[in-house]
């Protein structure tokens, strides 16, 4: 079950425990999720930072060969970029409503 499905099921369960009958709880949850999605609500994913953040950031004017060489040499440059990404609030997200 995806995170989106778990969220939807949890919301339906709460509404039904409050006495909202099944067909109405389903449509109410769909309306709430649609509204939240339209306002930019996303799901934060648990995921590691990119192993090669230099490629992700596409910064510093380095060629791909230079990036790969720095990674192989164990250059702390990548670690500095990863730390900066965390400080800047980098997170991986998924949409609240997945397009099927």
The pLDDT averaged over each successive group of 10 residues in the chain (100 residues) is: 92 94 92 94 80 58 69 66 77 81
Instruction: Tell me the whole-structure pTM to 2 decimals.
Output: 0.60
Q: Would you list the DSSP string of 31-99? A: HHHHHHHHTT-EEEE--PPPS-HHHHHT-TT--HHHHHHHHHTT-THHHHHHHHHHHTT--EEEESS--
35's tokens: 């509204």
SS3 3: helix
Q: What is the pLDDT of residue 86?
A: 78
* Residues comprising the chain, all counted: 100
């Amino acid at each position: 079950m995806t995170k989106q499905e778990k969220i939807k099921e949890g919301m339906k369960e709460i509404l039904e425990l409050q006495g909202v009958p099944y067909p109405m709880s389903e449509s109410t949850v769909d309306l709430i999720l649609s509204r939240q999605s339209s306002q930019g609500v996303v799901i934060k994913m648990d995921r590691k930072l990119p192993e090669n953040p230099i490629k992700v950031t596409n910064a510093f004017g380095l060629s791909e060969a230079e990036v790969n060489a720095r990674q192989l040499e164990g250059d702390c440059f990548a670690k500095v970029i990863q730390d900066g990404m965390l400080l800047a609030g980098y997170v991986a997200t998924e949409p609240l409503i997945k397009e099927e």
